[in-house]
Structure 1
Amino acid sequence: MGATGDGLAAVSDFMEQHKALLQQLRNDQGGGKNCETDLCALMSAVEAMKRLDVLHALYDQCVFSCNAIMHHAASCGHFAVLQWLYEASYEDIGHDAVDAAVRSSHLPIVRFIYERCPSVFIDPVIDTAVCFSTLEVVEFLHPHFSSQWRSCHVDDAAEYGNLAVLQFLLEQCSLELSPDAIVLAAKYGHTEVVAFLLRQRPRVGNVKEALIEAIGSGHVAVVQLLIQEVDSVEQDDDELVHAFSKSAADGHVEVIELVLRVHPDAESALPTLDDAAMNGHFNVVRFLSALRSTECSTETIEEVAGKGNLDMIEFLHQHGASEYTVEEMDRAAGNGHLDVTRFLHQHSNVGCTTKAMDDAAANDHLEVVQFLCENRSEGCTSAAMCKAAENGHLDVLRYLYTQGEDLCACDCVYRAAGNGHLSVVKFVMPRRYEPWSNSIPLHCTTDVVRNGYLHVLRYLYEQTRQQARSLTFPRNAMDKAARNGHLETIKFLHEHHLSECTSMAMDVAAMNGHLDVVKFLHEHRNEGCTTAAMDDAARSGHFDVVKFLHEHRQEGCTVAAMDYAAQQGSLHMVRFLHANRTEGCSTALHWAAERGHFAVVKYLCEQGIEEGAQVAQDAATNGGYGRIARYLLDNVAGLNPPPN
């Protein structure tokens, strides 16, 4: 189903208009949030153009996995894309696509899948529907699963606040209302559900437990509904004590006030100030301090100081907190809270340790460092200079140097170089007064090369050459640069004969899709690569790298290359390897069937690759890929039909 005629122009235009998006998709094929965003953007762009044939070209170029785009089409409601993928026989529909469509309440997609692949609708889809779907989806599923509805689904609907579905289950499915339903609804703040369940009394139970859950979760509207339904609360109820503590820790003072207005005896269950103070809830601290002692632990004061909450520190100090430790100023300074550091300096008689300035320097808090130098006597250790250099904080480093700190006290220049901070390196090197060793240490040059800091590498090279010293590199320095695609660094190492490399350099460059690095190593080095280069490039979907290695190298690949390509659903890669390589495959059919890659399964069978067909059929059946299971049964001799 390729693009032909004027369709080719549309494909070309699309490629040009969305060049950045397509490159990002190639980079993010490993998955994650970026990949999800990119796939949704791609599908929206394709549907807006009304040119689904663009997908064919993108699939052939290994821009995306059909399995991934099938799932995202179901999840995001791109009906046309999902229909095209299925009808073009690229991908079978499995459990994950059904779950995504039901979870997102895309009824047209749910209906389309059920009409074509009813076998993929298994019991867990009901669990998903009652929690996340609209009533329309549940109504559609209900007659098809008439015997699968359970009372636990009522609890699920209550827990997720799905009131319409909850009413449907009670009224149309005649399910029992469990006592846990109102507790779950209260815990998660579903006010309308709680109100509905209260109207079902006496069928509903556990109202007091529901109230305690609502208090602990801070849902004031739910507490207002339930508080009048409870005659009393036990003052020594451990669950109430825990609920008050949690509510205070989360800042829900209005909930605590409401409970005490209705049940004043509950005051004895109130918590200490600690949790509220630690989390910065000043309103709760003021409220509680008016009712009971304002004492709190030293750990709380340390936490408050570390978070820089000056108002809280002042309040606690004014209301009797006086047992300070060095930890307060250490934390405040290290986190850059100058106002808290100054307050503690003025009101605490225990001071701080060298950790205060060390951490402030490490985190680039220059004003705090200056304040400590000018007002405290604890000083710092060599860690202050080292960490400032390592993190590139030149202003802090320069200030400490003016205060007499020793640039030679640690290997700060090497730390700065290894992290790419050239300005720090340039500041430190001329000011070191200790004799230089004969060479820059390995750990420094290793970090510079691994991270591709060519500007630092050039500077170190020039400096050491002028001073008749040498740069020392590990034997595999070029391998490390190759892994991360730092071509210019590799060129510099090669041109100046600074490092050798091993076959791993080309292997890891190929694995990570760095074709420019692979080409350079092929043209200028003689270490070569191993079969892992093509195998791992195939696994990662780097078709251009696989093609280059095939055309220019002799190492070849193993059966893993086609197995990996089949596993990823890369039909274009599988075709290329089958047509151009002789290694074949071993588990390709199994992987393709298990992942729902129908087009790959079909191609392999058409080429007579049927090894492991029974295992493949079983995997397809277990994964809900009924079309693949049926295809294998119809086209491969000797297979056992799947159980009904």
Structure 2
Amino acid sequence: MHTALKVLRDFNLFQIIVHFQFGLPKELVEICCLAESIEIIPNYTDSSRTPTAYLSNIPPRFSNTSYIKQCNQVPNTNLFLKDHFKEPTLPLHLSIVENNGNHVELWIKNKPEWLSTAPLKLAAICGHLGIVQRLINASKNVWTPEAMDLAAMNGYLDIVIWLHNLENGPGCTIKAMDGAATYGHLQVVEFLNENRSEGCTFTALKMGASNGYSKVVEYLLTHLPKQHIDEGFTFFGYYGILTHQAVEEKDYIGVIQSLQSHSLSVSDIHENIIYAAVKENPLEYISRYNIYGITKKIFDEVIESGDQVAIRCAVEAIFQENDKPISLIHDEVVLDPWTPIDTEFALRSPWAQSSWKHSRAMDIAAALGNMEAIQLLHQTGIQCCSVAAISMASLIGRIDIVEWLYSNRNEGWSDTAMTFAATNGHLDMVKWLHGVAGLNCTEDGLASAAINGDIAMVSYLISIPMSDKAINVMDARRWLLSGLNKYLCPSNNRFRFLGLRSSPVDQAASNGHIEIVNLLHNFDATTNAMDEAVSNGHFDMVKYLHTSRKEGCTTHAIMNAVLVNRLDILKYLVENNCCHGVIKYEKVCLEATGCDNIEMLKFCMDQLQNDLQQSSKQCMMLKAATRGLLNNVKWLHESKGFGWTLLIRDNAEKRGRKRIVHYFDIIDKPEANALSEWDILQTNE
């Protein structure tokens, strides 16, 4: 009898029995369990074009599907879900994503109330014809013209044809052809144009051209001759989905050729198409389709291509456009400085720095290590170099280019060269800059070397004099406006352009480099050193800073220890009085309540000197409940006597915290609410 009672009183077993009392098949129960493990994270934003939530912790069987794999983050809009916190229909949508027709058939039978337009749209965008057919035949509640739109813009011609042939079917909208053209699906565009009457808008031609789909552009101009490109139009995507399936092959040269062959005016060919064509094939563009002349921005693209033949061809074109004999380029005589004339196209460009007077072509060549281009540009006399050239060459460690610029150009150099060389670990370059150009150590260079853990660089930099200059905010702004900033962040992400006179000790400490902090023992530091060491979980660094230096930390370190769930670090900070300032343990306890570490919560509560106000207690219970932390909720109630309110229960239920809701239902009655709307907003952040 005792064993039977124990089984009957098992809440988890009871919950399962009740939840599946209508006989949900076992394979669907598994999907429900997997759906429960997915976390839905609200995205609070004022923009109507951004998702309301993102999904994380998606099981591999779903996250590895082709549709979900194309997203770095998975917004709820991509799965046609709307709720911020929980989604009852998520299991059905997961079955659709993995193209499990049998499961979808079972969902239709067992959960007919889940059938809406959302599942059909998801099946269409995933390209699952069989599931589209099942859903269409199951209920007219799922019918929507958006299904064909989504299938069309993702290139699923089989779904488009099937939906088209469906008698009195849901049809489509003009977005079908617009979207198919936007993402390069020529066969879909052809089918829609030849078999349906919705047609398209100017978006089809504009986006097809902008995305480099020359065959689509040619088809539209041939069969829909009244097409035009509206430059006042801004494209925001379709149905809030940013990851539609697009044709990979691009042909911007072909787009230009097609637009020209159909006599579109030059103004109809957007400059972005020109720049894309130059990137795609600079030599062919210059030799065959140079419709705007070689503008400063086009020339920059040619320099970036690194194609030496194209670069020389572009220089010759510039000479011709400015009535200068091409023979001058071949005379090996350096011409006097001059500035090319801006074309009408360049003058009407909305982009900043479009004029030739802002040219930095030689700086770009230096950033890319293209000595041949640098020497050619020098010979032409075109004014396109600044002090940034030496800085950019220093960034990539090209001593040969720096030496050549130093000997042949008169723009000079700046301390930025030293910062860049030090940042990227080019010790020989740093030594040359100091020994030959007379540049000294910069604070930014030392700080960057310190955070990178480059002990050899740090050792050398502190052995030479320190520059009394620093890159200020305006200098940094000029770098951004020059367009050279894209070369400052190589793929290994070592570069940190600080510009804030940051302490090298602080930077080294933040990354846990104890040996470098020790090497910099004579340098000043701030409380940021320990604060950031805590944030990044470097316990040994925290202990070293406490025993070897005097800066200590701020209350941010206490909060950071809780945020990164490091009870060991928190105890050390508190027990050794590392913190300067008054620690507001009430706030710390609130943060700890949302941490899945009951020992952390207990420790923080033990530090309280005064009783908490009722509103504070309810804030803590609210945070634990909405995060789904049942152990924290139980401990707060059973050990500390915290109560609950209907508002707290409602918030937990809204987020699908079933175990929390059940716990509230079986304990004491709710107490009166003491929370304001502001308290709720702050607690749920």
TM-score normalized with structure 2 length: 0.63
Give the CA deviation at 1:458.
0.8
CA 413–104 in structure 1, closer or farther in 2 if over 3 Å, else same: same
Q: Distance in 1 between matches of 2:280 and 2:61?
A: 46
User: Is the Cα–Cα contact under 8 Å of residues 213 and 251 in structure 2 kept in the other structure?
Assistant: no
Give the CA deviation at 1:536.
1.9
Larger deviation, residues 420-429 vs 92-101: 92-101
Q: In structure 1, what is the equivalent of residue 238 of structure 2?
A: none
Give the CA deviation at 1:274.
8.3
Give the CA deviation at 1:280.
3.5
User: Is the Cα–Cα contact under 8 Å of residues 159 and 185 in structure 1 kept in the other structure?
Assistant: yes
- Alignment deviations for residues 608-636 of structure 1 (CA, whole Å, 9 cap, x no partner): 465699x9xxxxxxxxxxxxxxxxxxxxx
User: Is the Cα–Cα contact under 8 Å of residues 355 and 380 in structure 1 kept in the other structure?
Assistant: yes
| Residue type at the aligned position of 1:591 | N
Q: Does residue 462 of structure 2 align to residue 429 of structure 1? A: yes
User: Is the Cα–Cα contact under 8 Å of residues 212 and 250 in structure 2 kept in the other structure?
Assistant: yes
User: Is the Cα–Cα contact under 8 Å of residues 505 and 525 in structure 2 kept in the other structure?
Assistant: yes
CA 571–350 in structure 1, closer or farther in 2 if over 3 Å, else same: same
Q: In structure 2, what is the equivalent of residue 334 of structure 1?
A: 367
- Alignment deviations for residues 1-22 of structure 1 (CA, whole Å, 9 cap, x no partner): xxxxxxxxxxxxxxxxxxxxxx
CA 69–146 in structure 1, closer or farther in 2 if over 3 Å, else same: same
- Alignment deviations for residues 239-286 of structure 1 (CA, whole Å, 9 cap, x no partner): 6999xxxx9x964334555677xx665697885998545654464752
- Alignment deviations for residues 62-101 of structure 1 (CA, whole Å, 9 cap, x no partner): x9859967864794499xxxxxxxxxxxx97524554454
Give the CA deviation at 1:314.
1.5
Q: In structure 2, what is the equivalent of residue 574 of structure 1?
A: 633
Within a 5 Å distance, the mapping from 1:504-515 to structure 2 comes to 504-515=556-567
> Which of 617, 640, 651 lines up with 1:591 in the alignment?
651
Q: Where does the alignment leave 5 or more consecutive residues of structure 1 unmatched?
A: 1-51, 79-90, 436-440, 465-470, 616-644
Q: SS at the partner of 2:136?
A: helix
| Residue type at the aligned position of 2:436 | Q
Q: Distance in 2 between matches of 1:124 and 1:583?
A: 42
Q: In structure 2, what is the equivalent of residue 19 of structure 1?
A: none
User: Is the Cα–Cα contact under 8 Å of residues 273 and 288 in structure 1 kept in the other structure?
Assistant: no
CA 177–517 in structure 1, closer or farther in 2 if over 3 Å, else same: closer
Q: In structure 2, what is the equivalent of residue 601 of structure 1?
A: 661
Q: SS at the partner of 2:462?
A: helix
Q: In structure 2, what is the equivalent of residue 491 of structure 1?
A: 543
| Residue type at the aligned position of 1:539 | G
CA 283–342 in structure 1, closer or farther in 2 if over 3 Å, else same: same
CA RMSD of aligned residues (A): 4.6
- Of Structure 1 and Structure 2, which has the larger fraction of its residues in helix? 1
Q: SS at the partner of 1:406?
A: coil
Q: In structure 2, what is the equivalent of residue 135 of structure 1?
A: 129
Q: In structure 1, what is the equivalent of residue 312 of structure 2?
A: 314
Give the CA deviation at 1:297.
1.1
User: Is the Cα–Cα contact under 8 Å of residues 278 and 304 in structure 1 kept in the other structure?
Assistant: no
CA 117–590 in structure 1, closer or farther in 2 if over 3 Å, else same: farther
User: Is the Cα–Cα contact under 8 Å of residues 510 and 532 in structure 2 kept in the other structure?
Assistant: yes
Give the CA deviation at 1:606.
2.2
Q: Distance in 2 between matches of 1:97 and 1:188?
A: 30
Give the CA deviation at 1:578.
3.5
Give the CA deviation at 1:397.
0.9
Q: In structure 1, what is the equivalent of residue 413 of structure 2?
A: 380
Q: Distance in 1 between matches of 2:218 and 2:363?
A: 44
Q: Distance in 2 between matches of 1:370 and 1:578?
A: 72
Q: SS at the partner of 2:412?
A: coil
> Which of 326, 336, 352 lines up with 2:385 in the alignment?
352
Q: In structure 2, what is the equivalent of residue 190 of structure 1?
A: 185
Q: In structure 2, what is the equivalent of residue 532 of structure 1?
A: 587
> Which of 611, 623, 627 lines up with 1:564 in the alignment?
623
Q: Distance in 2 between matches of 1:515 and 1:372?
A: 55
Q: Distance in 2 between matches of 1:127 and 1:114?
A: 16
Q: Distance in 2 between matches of 1:69 and 1:264?
A: 49
Q: In structure 1, what is the equivalent of residue 514 of structure 2?
A: 454
Q: Distance in 2 between matches of 1:118 and 1:347?
A: 74
User: Is the Cα–Cα contact under 8 Å of residues 361 and 369 in structure 1 kept in the other structure?
Assistant: yes
Larger deviation, residues 164-173 vs 441-450: 441-450
Instruction: State how many pairs are aligned.
Output: 520
Q: Where does the alignment leave 5 or more consecutive residues of structure 2 unmatched?
A: 1-29, 42-54, 66-84, 234-246, 323-339, 341-355, 469-500, 676-685
- Alignment deviations for residues 546-580 of structure 1 (CA, whole Å, 9 cap, x no partner): 35546788789844343223222233443344343
TM-score normalized with structure 1 length: 0.66
- Alignment deviations for residues 94-143 of structure 1 (CA, whole Å, 9 cap, x no partner): 24554454455444554555555554544444433433352232233335
> Which of 143, 149, 161 lines up with 2:143 in the alignment?
149
Give the CA deviation at 1:294.
7.3
User: Is the Cα–Cα contact under 8 Å of residues 74 and 100 in structure 1 kept in the other structure?
Assistant: no
Q: Pick 1 or 2: higher relative contact order, CA cutoff 8 A, min separation 6.
A: 1
User: Is the Cα–Cα contact under 8 Å of residues 286 and 314 in structure 2 kept in the other structure?
Assistant: no
> Which of 434, 441, 454 lines up with 1:401 in the alignment?
434
Give the CA deviation at 1:399.
1.3
CA 274–492 in structure 1, closer or farther in 2 if over 3 Å, else same: closer
> Which of 556, 562, 570 lines up with 1:518 in the alignment?
570
| Residue type at the aligned position of 1:189 | G
Q: Distance in 2 between matches of 1:361 and 1:69?
A: 42
Q: In structure 1, what is the equivalent of residue 213 of structure 2?
A: 219
Q: Distance in 2 between matches of 1:343 and 1:240?
A: 37
Give the CA deviation at 1:352.
2.0
Q: Distance in 2 between matches of 1:404 and 1:185?
A: 58
